[in-house]
Chains A and B, each alone.
Chain A
Amino acid sequence: MSTLMKFLFGAVAALAVLILAHIDPAFAQAAGEAAPAATPPAPPPSPINTGDTAWMLTSTALVLMMTIPGLALFYGGMVRKKNVLATVGQAFGATCIVTVLWMVIGYSIAFTTNDSESLNKWIGGFKYFMLKPMTIDAVSPLAASIPESVYMCFQMTFAIITPALIAGSLADRMKFSAFMTFMAAWLILVYSPIAHWVWGGGWLGQLGALDYAGGTVVHLNAGTAGLVCALVLGPRHGLGKENMAPYNLVYSVIGASLLWVGWFGFNAGSAVTANVNAGMAMAVTQIATAAAALAWMCCEWIIAKKPSILGIVSGAVAGLVAITPASGFVDPTGALIIGILAGIVCYFAAVHVKKFFGYDDALDAFGVHAVGGALGAMLTGAFASNAINSLGKGWLTDGNAHQMLIQFYDVAGTFIYCAVMTYIILKVIDLIIGLRVSQAAEVEGLDINLHGEVVQ
């Protein structure tokens, strides 16, 4: 005990000496700078708009909140008690590993221009390795009125939630080491290139694909990877025989509510400015979400006889997913239709299609996110209104049927590339680390076996 006290005292004393040594020159520097400030030179005009910057700082925080704690609780409440910590831990772990890799190379691949014009169709440049060119006053050409540091962070929160969503499919049975490796590889090899294709100046963006906030880049992408994970991993032990009732659906309701609120940062933030588009994106997001929740609820009420709370919140998430690509392009009527269709289609995908095919997409990342994302992308092509956004002309609103074909390329390109790459990544990890925990560990629970902790 006394050794520990001595050690602590020594550490505190050393810290105090260090701080004192630093305070003095710091004061001297401040005094030196204050003197010439009497005749300030005229500052160069800054492209930074403070209103836009304030909104994007807020949006970034909102979207991070979607993953932790939003998605973590949404998924955590749906698994069994023995796997609660492992599940919320996956969202938290993904947040950390993606943050670091986004700084190292992810942002560079996704959102900077490749010097080779032909390569730029597929992948961004590598100059932003370790974010070296991101100086204090850097501005990205993709976000002209805010600091690049804010834009990089905003996009980082999207890069975080996308792989974290996949955890819904692989819940209850994956090794944590394999999961973290998968998150890292998937971010670099799947998310970053696809984000570049659509938003970073790649081939889908050049083609004119409309994806305002990530219907294909985020949701179809994550959901497709989820389906591949569910197929490669195989079903949970005891599926269909054991009781796999959720541990605590209140967590899921809280999580879904945080997702809903955070989604205003996701969709309205994707305007990357605080302008009319952000305002309309917020309005249509709210409308589509509520409509989808009601649609799912009605389906369940009619078919399963009772409107479950899990169903209502699942419908809300389905609506949020489907309005995501459309949010900057459609008017409130379009949003209402998209929401209703999303609630109905995702209900059948998550409840009936899954049962029919028998794959174990444990928490329905595919049924809600891939199906909702693809549906939303196609409906964006149908309902995009030139009156809302000059960049979008839809089929039903403006008679531009060709947009449907472009949206289909977007959906198909994302689906095929993501499915193939995810399969390869999983197979490689399976060879090196192994994907699944032992059956004994799975039966006893991931919390105690992988993390040495339990929820009482």
Chain B
Amino acid sequence: MKLVMAIIKPFKLDEVRQALTELGLQGMTVTEVKGYGRQKGHTEIYRGAEYAVNFLPKIKIEVVVPAKMVDKAVDAIVAAAKTGQIGDGKIFVVPVEQTVRIRTGETDESAL
């Protein structure tokens, strides 16, 4: 099992969700986050007072998938979240040791 963690532009969330659902993935966790990479931030001006905003709003998606599904999931996220502009986000894949479904006590892939 792998944890696929994707940081994406907020308005791309629905397309990414749809793409992952079409692969047969059953769930995901979504968090509103702030951060910066190469996009850096932007400048806001209120009556002449300028403020540099370094952290921009992003969406973090976390989805745990069977090892054999990882490449498909990553490809689906890239295809759905890509605009070609700076600030499209990043995907991280990390190994997962154990999964438990709390309701039934099922473990690992049968709990996904």
- A207 to B48 CA separation, bound complex (whole angstroms): 40
B97 within 8 A of A: no
| Range of interface residues on A (Cβ < 8 Å) | 10 to 19
A306 within 8 A of B: yes
Q: Type the 1/0 row for B35-47, where 1 means its CB is closer than 8 Å to any CB of A.
A: 0000000001111
Chain B residues closer than 8 Å to A314, beta-carbon distance: 47
Is the CB–CB distance between A245 and B47 below 8 Å?
Answer: no
Is the CB–CB distance between B45 and A308 below 8 Å?
Answer: yes
Smallest beta-carbon distance A80→chain B, Å: 11
Is the CB–CB distance between A243 and B46 below 8 Å?
Answer: no
Chain A residues closer than 8 Å to B49, beta-carbon distance: 244
8 Å CB contacts to A: which residues of B27-73?
A: 44-49, 51-53
Is the CB–CB distance between A245 and B44 below 8 Å?
Answer: yes
* Cross-chain contact of A304 among B48, B51, B53 (Cβ < 8 A): B48
- A362 to B41 CA separation, bound complex (whole angstroms): 25
Is the CB–CB distance between B51 and A364 below 8 Å?
Answer: no
Chain B residues closer than 8 Å to A243, beta-carbon distance: 51-53
Q: Type the 1/0 row for A333-365, where 1 means its CB is closer than 8 Å to any CB of B.
A: 000000000000000001110110000000010
Smallest beta-carbon distance B36→chain A, Å: 14
- A446 to B104 CA separation, bound complex (whole angstroms): 49
- A209 to B52 CA separation, bound complex (whole angstroms): 47
Chain B residues closer than 8 Å to A244, beta-carbon distance: 49, 51
Is the CB–CB distance between B48 and A352 below 8 Å?
Answer: yes
Q: Chain B interface secondary structure, helix, strand, loop or mixed?
A: strand
Is the CB–CB distance between A306 and B45 below 8 Å?
Answer: yes
Smallest beta-carbon distance B50→chain A, Å: 9
Is the CB–CB distance between B46 and A246 below 8 Å?
Answer: yes
* Cross-chain contact of A310 among B47, B51, B52, B53 (Cβ < 8 A): B47
Chain B residues closer than 8 Å to A308, beta-carbon distance: 45-47
* Cross-chain contact of B48 among A78, A245, A306, A355 (Cβ < 8 A): A355
Smallest beta-carbon distance A307→chain B, Å: 11
- A154 to B66 CA separation, bound complex (whole angstroms): 73
- A350 to B48 CA separation, bound complex (whole angstroms): 8
- A244 to B53 CA separation, bound complex (whole angstroms): 11
Q: Which has the most chain B C-beta neighbours within 10 Å: A243, A244, A314, A352?
A: A243
Chain A residues closer than 8 Å to B53, beta-carbon distance: 243, 245
Chain A residues closer than 8 Å to B51, beta-carbon distance: 243-245
Is the CB–CB distance between A351 and B47 below 8 Å?
Answer: yes
8 Å CB contacts to A: which residues of B75-99?
A: none
- A310 to B49 CA separation, bound complex (whole angstroms): 12
Least CB separation from A242: chain B residue:
B51
Chain B residues closer than 8 Å to A352, beta-carbon distance: 48
A376 within 8 A of B: no
- A354 to B46 CA separation, bound complex (whole angstroms): 13
- A220 to B44 CA separation, bound complex (whole angstroms): 30
Chain A residues closer than 8 Å to B48, beta-carbon distance: 304, 350-352, 354-355
- A364 to B49 CA separation, bound complex (whole angstroms): 12
Least CB separation from A306: chain B residue:
B45
Least CB separation from B50: chain A residue:
A304
Chain B residues closer than 8 Å to A354, beta-carbon distance: 48
Is the CB–CB distance between A350 and B45 below 8 Å?
Answer: no
- A311 to B45 CA separation, bound complex (whole angstroms): 10
Q: Which has the most chain A C-beta neighbours within 10 Å: B45, B46, B47, B52?
A: B47
Chain B residues closer than 8 Å to A364, beta-carbon distance: 47
Least CB separation from A303: chain B residue:
B48
Smallest beta-carbon distance A82→chain B, Å: 16
Can you list 5 residue pairs at the A/B interface with Cβ under 8 Å?
Answer: A244-B49, A245-B51, A245-B53, A308-B46, A310-B46
Measured CB to CB, the residues of A under 8 A from B are 78, 243-246, 304, 306, 308, 310-311, 314, 350-352, 354-355, 364
- Those 6 A-B pairs whose CB atoms lie nearest each other, nearest first: A351-B48, A243-B51, A245-B51, A351-B47, A245-B44, A350-B47
4 further contact pairs, Cβ within 8 A, besides A245-B44, A246-B46, A308-B45? A78-B46, A314-B47, A350-B47, A350-B48
